[in-house]
Amino acid sequence: SENDFLPEDLAVFLSESANWRSTPWGVIFPLAGTSRWAYLEWAPFENFDLVSFGPAEWRGFTGVLEVPTQTWMLRKRLVDRLFMSVPSIPSVVSWCREGVTWVATPEGWRVSNGGEAIPELRFSDLTPEGVARLSQDLSRHFYWSDRWSPEFYALQARAGFIAITHSRESQVFLLPELQTHYAVLDWKSLHVGKTLRRWFKSVHAQRASLVVTSEPAEVLDALEAARPDSSWICPAYREILESLAREPQLGLRVLGVELRWDGQLVAGEVGYAIGGTYTSLSGFHFSDRKEWSGLGTVQLVLLAKLLEEAGFEFWNLGHPQMEYKRALGARILTRKEFLERWNLAVEKETLSLPPPQLA
């Protein structure tokens, strides 16, 4: 039966755990009788929900966090029956259905004297031999660095890392991640729904235009305006991106993607091209006006078509948890599967956007 997919005490644990807490990222539960915590993660998948729950090690600057390691594929009606019956849980189900990955707060960290902190990523790790060694260690995916140089950034990006930032004690670190799974869009898998296909045939489509530029300043300004309190692109990170936009290194070319509505910037993203690959970093869309609804998806579809037209092999969308990536047609690849394709594609000459015939 469906219940066989779950540990026997999961429903009991949830119903008796009165001390759960919510954060902007999700819900964290204390593990009874311990100082450890666990979180729950839901992700929609076709007619099922993927539910992750259980303890594991998450290595941080100061210790180790308990996070899930077990995943069950459950029919949606079972998820509704299980979680909607638990007091206070219904308020978070809507978050779950959006495919958000939930992480714990620092209060949930279990500091362990024997726990190794997130390791530093050094230049010596970014040789072919070093990257091969790191890629085989699936227990680690985050690394840190305080090297804010275009050369180091280009090296880690070319190796398959995707770097964000992390602030700790008033210092900002680069946080390169060699992900365990990647969302990758192949052009044959691009999905355009019926509603969007009708939109592209309407008069509204004539008011939208996609612009790809090697000067990402306006996109970066828009990102900051759209996410004034949550953007991880700090001034030092922005400086690196703008430097690489002016002077590409190791085949890495930073691009700003702009969707304009009657000439006004309403959606877009910043990313980079290396060889025959394009990687998204961070995107935005404004919804101040009703007619702008859905333009974030329009930007994604138009960019996918432009990348295909230019001869790119695939689009690296990064973390696979967000539902919009799967809705676009992205497939989830393991680190090994991703790097096998990535390492071949980045060796090619970096392609231009827009393609020459459309410039």
Residues 161 and 94 occupy one common structural domain: no
Write the pLDDT tens digit of every residue in 207-261.
Answer: 889 999 999 999 999 999 988 877 899 999 999 999 999 999 989 999 999 999 9
pLDDT given at position 80: 53
* Single-letter code of the amino acid located at 102: W
With respect to residue 117, please indicate whether it lies within any of the assigned structural domains. no
Residues 274 and 169 in one domain: no
Q: What is the CATH number of the domain that holds 340?
A: 3.40.630.70
User: In the chain, what are the helix, strand and coil shares in percent, each to the nearest 5?
Assistant: 35, 30, 35
Do 23 and 154 fall into the same domain? no
Tell me the C-alpha distance between 191 and 70, whole Å. 30
Beta bridge partners of 53: 70
* pTM passes above 0.75: no
Please check whether residues 37 and 163 belong to one and the same domain.
Answer: no
Distance CA 45, CA 354 (A): 34
Residue 127 and residue 87 share a domain? no
What is the C-alpha to C-alpha distance for residues 119 and 276, in angstroms, rounded to an integer?
30
Residues 222 and 335 in one domain: yes
CA distances from 299 to 27, 32, 306 (A): 32, 47, 10
pLDDT band at residue 101 using 50, 70 and 90 as cut-offs: very low
| Chain centre distance of CA 85 | 31
Q: Indicate the number of domains in the chain.
A: 3
Assess if residue 354 is contained within a domain: yes
* Beta carbons within 10 angstroms of residue 203's beta carbon: 6
Structure tokens that stand for 214 in this block: 């090697």
Give per-residue pLDDT as tens, 305-317: 999 999 999 999 9
The pLDDT of residue 62 is: 41
What percentage of the chain exceeds 70 in pLDDT? 65
Based on the domain organization, do 289 and 343 belong to the same domain?
yes
Is the domain of 222 the same as that of 285?
A: yes
- Contact between 199 and 299 under an 8 Å Cβ cutoff? The reply is no
13: which residues sit within 8 A by CB, 6+ positions away?
A: 29, 32
- 94 vs 168: CA distance, rounded Å: 31
User: If you average pLDDT over residues 185-198, what whole number do you get?
Assistant: 92
Confidence of residue 174 (pLDDT cuts 50, 70, 90): very high
Classify the C-alpha dihedral 54-66-91-193 as positive or negative: negative
On whether both 215 and 342 belong to a single domain, the answer is: yes
CB atoms within 10 A of CB 168: 11
Residue 356 has pLDDT above 80, yes or no: no
pLDDT tens string 53-66:
444 344 444 444 44
Predicted pLDDT of residue 81: 52
Nearest-angstrom CA–CA distance, 324 and 95: 14
Average pLDDT over residues 151-164: 97
187 and 175 together in one domain: no
Kindly state whether residue 297 falls inside one of the protein's structural domains.
yes
Q: What is the DSSP string of 114-136?
A: TPPPPPBP-GGGGSHHHHHHHHT
347 is written with which tokens? 């060796």
Per the domain annotation, does 118 fall within a domain?
no
115 in a domain, yes or no?
Answer: no
Range of 38's domain? 2-110
Q: Is the pLDDT of residue 286 over 50?
A: yes
Reply yes or no on whether the pLDDT at 21 is more than 90: no
Q: Report d(CA 301, CA 165) in Å as an integer.
A: 28
* pLDDT-based confidence at residue 337 (cuts at 50, 70, 90): very high
